[in-house]
Amino acid sequence: MMSAIEDLIKTVAALREPETGCPWDIEQDHQSIAECLIDECCELLQTIDRLDMDHMEEELGDVLLQVVMHAQMAQEAGHFDFESVCREVDAKLVRRHPHVFGQGDLNSSEAVLVQWDQIKAGERKRGPAQQGKFKDLPQQLPALMFAKDVYKQIQKQAMPAGGVIDEVAIARTAEDLDAAQLGKQLFEIAAACRGRGIDPESALRRYTQEVVDTLEQI
């Protein structure tokens, strides 16, 4: 008896079968269904925000379908398959949690994150080699996530950012700030941008990139 995941893999393979599969599925490639992954992730995030567990189950399945579809395409081209994807991420989890699967004893999330970064730094790099001080962040990231990740790198590397970033202003803004207040401020900024005809995503992305470019030259 096959497991549910084996059934799903078999179904996706059948959809992609050249002679007997679905014409639409057969025509797709990694690029053509990339937008589907974005859509499904956004729908999943909506169910998470609402804690809609029944709907979340469905949306998790839709995201999983995208992973299986990409793995099937890669298998057809002789690159990798779904099993190797699972094997790779499982090995990564075990490798980066020696306090669970090996030796050591960590009793705080902060210590776990430090160890995670140390282990990650010693691993074989995949993808493009890092150029400059900042790691390569996906251009597809929403501007807010891009800005947050850039600032995280600045903090982790203790980059001298005086004259580029006003740490005093950041600390003042963060003082006594909660999620509701932050949401209100961000909403008001977005509304003000609409009133001025400014795209807030583009404005924040450009400014964050200016910070990166400036610090790269220091």
Q: What is the 3-state secondary structure (H, E, C) of the chain?
A: CCCHHHHHHHHHHHHCCCCCCCHHHHHCCCCCCHHHHHHHHHHHHHHHHHCCHHHHHHHHHHHHHHHHHHHHHHHHCCCCCHHHHHHHHHHHHHHCCHHHHCCCCCCCHHHHHHHHHHHHHCCCCCCCCCCCCCCCCCCCCCHHHHHHHHHHHHHHCCCCCCCCCCHHHHHHHHCCCCHHHHHHHHHHHHHHHHHHCCCHHHHHHHHHHHHHHHHHHC
Residue 162 confidence class, pLDDT cut points 50, 70, 90: confident
Domain of residue 108: give its range: 91-124
Residue 134 maps to a domain: no
Residues 166, 197 within the same domain: yes
Residues 25, 69 within the same domain: yes
Question: What is the pLDDT of the chain when averaged over all its residues?
Answer: 92
Residue 83 confidence class, pLDDT cut points 50, 70, 90: very high
Residue 131 maps to a domain: no
Residue 68 maps to a domain: yes
Residue 21 confidence class, pLDDT cut points 50, 70, 90: very high
Residue 57 maps to a domain: yes
Residues 57, 12 within the same domain: yes
Residues 212, 150 within the same domain: yes
Residue 147 maps to a domain: yes
- pLDDT of residue 129 exceeding 80: no
Residues 149, 196 within the same domain: yes
Residues 120, 73 within the same domain: no
Q: How many folded domains does the chain comprise?
A: 3
